[in-house]
C-alpha cells in the first residue's frame, strides 16, 4: 500500500533525490531567499560525499530515496539522467496525488517520467543552467498532463530564488539546453577571447579577465533591466568612425554571428538526439 503524504499545516517541506551540484544550488537559492527553511529541506544520496554539503547548509539528509517522498510533498529529482528511471521505479509506490515532482535531469522527457510514475502523478520538468550556483540562473520549465497552472506558479515562485524561470512548451526545453545550458561555455569562450585580445595589447592577464567578465555582466544587466534589443544597445555604443565599429567589422570578418548561431544549433540538435535515446 502506498504511503500517504499528509499536507502539513506548517511550512512546506522540500525534498531532493540526488545531491549533486545543481541540487545544492537550487537548495541554497531557496534557503538564502527565505523561500524555505533549511531544516525543512531533506536530501538523499547513496553516499555522504555530496550530502555533507547539504548538512553544511543546515538541511536534513538520508540515504533513503523513499524517505524523501514520504516526508516531502515537493520533490526535485536531480540524479544523472541514466539513473533516473531506476530511481523512479524505486519510489513509484510511495508517490501520491499530493506530490509535486520536478525533474532536472537533462534529456528525460515528460512522457518518459509519466510512464514510470503512477497515472495521477503531477510532474514538471525544469532545465536549469550552471549560474544557478550563484543565483543567476536561466531556467525554463514544462509541465506534464496532470500538473496545472497552480503547480507551475508555485515552482516558478520558488525558482525565482535561483535566477530567471519561465514556462515553455516542452519542445523548447532542448533549445534552452543549446542556448543557455551549453551557452555558459560559449560565453566563457568569448570572455576568454576578449581578455586574450587585451593581453595581446599589453594588459596584465588577471586584470584583462576581470574586466572582460565585468563587461559581460554589465551588458547583460542592461539588456535585462532596460528590455532593449541587443542591436539597440550595440548602436548606442557604436559612434561613427570610432573604436567600436572597427572592432565590430573585425568580428564580422571572423564570422562571429554565424559561428554563435551554429554553436546553438549544434548543441540543440545534440540535446534532441540525447532526448530520443
Domain stop point among 169, 196, 229: 169
Q: Which residues contact 204 (CB under 8 A, 6 or more apart)?
A: none
Q: What are phi and psi of 123, to 5 degrees?
A: -120, 135
- Let me know whether 138 and 198 are in one domain: no
What per-residue confidence (pLDDT) applies to 259? 97
3-state secondary structure of 102: strand
Q: What is the mean pLDDT of residues 182-202?
A: 97
* Contact indicator for 100, 155 with CB cutoff of 8 Å: yes
What per-residue confidence (pLDDT) applies to 106? 87
> Is the pLDDT confidence value at 153 over 60?
yes
Comparison of pLDDT for 135 and 11, the residue scoring more: 135
For residue 6, tell me if it sits in a domain. no
* Contact indicator for 94, 88 with CB cutoff of 8 Å: no
What per-residue confidence (pLDDT) applies to 38? 96
Q: What's CA 29's distance to the chain center, in Å?
A: 12
For residue 117, tell me if it sits in a domain. yes
- Binding positions: 65, 78-81
Q: What is the mean pLDDT of residues 253-274?
A: 94
- Let me know whether 161 and 188 are in one domain: no
Nearest in space to 103 (alpha carbons), one of 142, 48, 131: 142
- Let me know whether 119 and 40 are in one domain: yes
- How far is 92 from 147, CA to CA, in rounded Å? 17
Q: Which residues contact 53 (CB under 8 A, 6 or more apart)?
A: 19, 24
Q: What is the mean pLDDT of residues 252-267?
A: 96
> Is the pLDDT confidence value at 199 over 50?
yes
Q: What is the mean pLDDT of residues 165-194?
A: 96
Per-residue pLDDT tens digits for 78-114:
999 999 999 999 999 999 999 999 999 988 999 999 9
Percent of the chain with pLDDT over 70: 96
What per-residue confidence (pLDDT) applies to 276? 80
Per-residue pLDDT tens digits for 13-40:
999 999 999 999 999 999 999 999 999 9
What per-residue confidence (pLDDT) applies to 274? 83
- Binding positions for NADP(+): 78-81
> Is the pLDDT confidence value at 6 over 90?
no
CATH, residue 45: 3.40.50.720
What per-residue confidence (pLDDT) applies to 3? 42
> Is the pLDDT confidence value at 242 over 60?
yes
Which residue segment(s) compose the domain that 258 sits in?
181-276
Number of domains in the chain: 2
Q: What is the DSSP letter of 166?
A: E
What per-residue confidence (pLDDT) applies to 277? 73
For residue 2, tell me if it sits in a domain. no
Q: What is the mean pLDDT of residues 238-256?
A: 96
- Binding positions for NADPH: 65
The model's pTM is 0.86
> How is 214-249 classified by DSSP, letter by letter?
HHHHHHHHHHHHH---HHHHHHHH--TTSHHHHHHH
- Let me know whether 67 and 196 are in one domain: no
Q: What is the DSSP letter of 183?
A: H
Strand (E) or helix (H) holding 162: none
What per-residue confidence (pLDDT) applies to 88? 96
Tell me the pairing of strands 41-44 and 74-77: unpaired
For residue 45, tell me if it sits in a domain. yes
What per-residue confidence (pLDDT) applies to 5? 43
* Contact indicator for 256, 193 with CB cutoff of 8 Å: no
- State the average pLDDT for the chain: 93
The strand pairing partners of 123, in sequence order, are 101
> Is the pLDDT confidence value at 1 over 60?
no
Burial, 62: exposed, middle or buried (Cβ in 10 Å; 0-12, 13-18, 19+)? middle
What per-residue confidence (pLDDT) applies to 11? 63
191: its cell numbers: 570572455
CATH, residue 271: 1.10.3730.10
Amino acid at each position: 500500500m502506498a504511503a500517504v503524504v499528509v499536507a502539513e499545516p506548517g511550512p512546506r517541506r522540500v525534498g531532493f533525490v540526488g545531491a549533486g551540484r545543481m541540487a545544492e544550488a537550487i537548495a541554497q537559492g531557496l534557503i538564502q531567499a527565505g523561500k524555505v527553511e533549511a531544516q525543512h529541506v531533506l536530501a538523499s544520496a547513496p553516499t555522504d560525499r555530496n550530502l555533507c554539503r547539504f548538512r553544511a547548509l543546515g538541511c536534513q539528509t538520508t540515504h533513503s530515496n523513499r524517505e524523501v517522498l514520504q516526508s516531502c510533498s515537493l520533490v526535485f529529482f536531480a540524479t544523472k539522467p541514466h539513473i533516473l528511471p531506476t530511481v523512479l521505479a524505486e519510489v513509484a509506490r510511495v508517490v501520491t496525488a499530493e506530490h509535486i515532482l520536478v525533474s532536472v535531469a537533462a534529456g528525460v522527457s515528460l512522457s518518459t517520467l509519466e510512464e514510470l510514475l503512477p497515472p495521477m502523478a503531477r510532474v514538471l520538468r525544469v532545465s536549469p543552467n550552471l549560474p544557478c550556483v550563484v543565483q543567476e540562473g536561466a531556467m525554463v520549465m514544462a509541465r506534464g498532463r496532470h500538473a496545472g497552472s497552480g503547480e507551475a506558479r508555485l515552482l516558478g515562485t520558488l525558482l525565482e530564488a535561483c535566477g530567471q524561470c519561465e514556462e515553455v512548451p516542452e519542445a523548447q526545453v532542448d533549445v534552452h539546453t543549446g542556448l543557455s545550458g551549453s551557452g555558459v561555455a560559449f560565453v566563457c569562450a568569448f570572455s576568454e577571447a576578449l581578455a586574450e585580445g587585451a593581453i595581446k595589447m599589453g594588459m596584465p592577464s588577471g586584470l584583462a579577465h576581470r574586466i572582460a567578465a565585468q563587461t559581460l555582466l554589465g551588458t547583460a544587466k542592461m539588456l535585462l533591466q532596460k528590455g532593449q534589443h541587443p542591436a539597440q544597445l550595440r548602436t548606442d555604443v557604436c559612434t561613427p568612425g570610432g573604436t567600436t565599429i572597427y572592432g565590430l567589422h573585425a568580428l564580422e570578418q571572423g564570422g562571429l554571428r554565424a559561428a554563435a548561431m551554429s554553436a546553438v544549433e549544434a548543441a540543440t540538435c545534440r540535446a534532441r538526439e540525447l532526448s530520443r535515446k
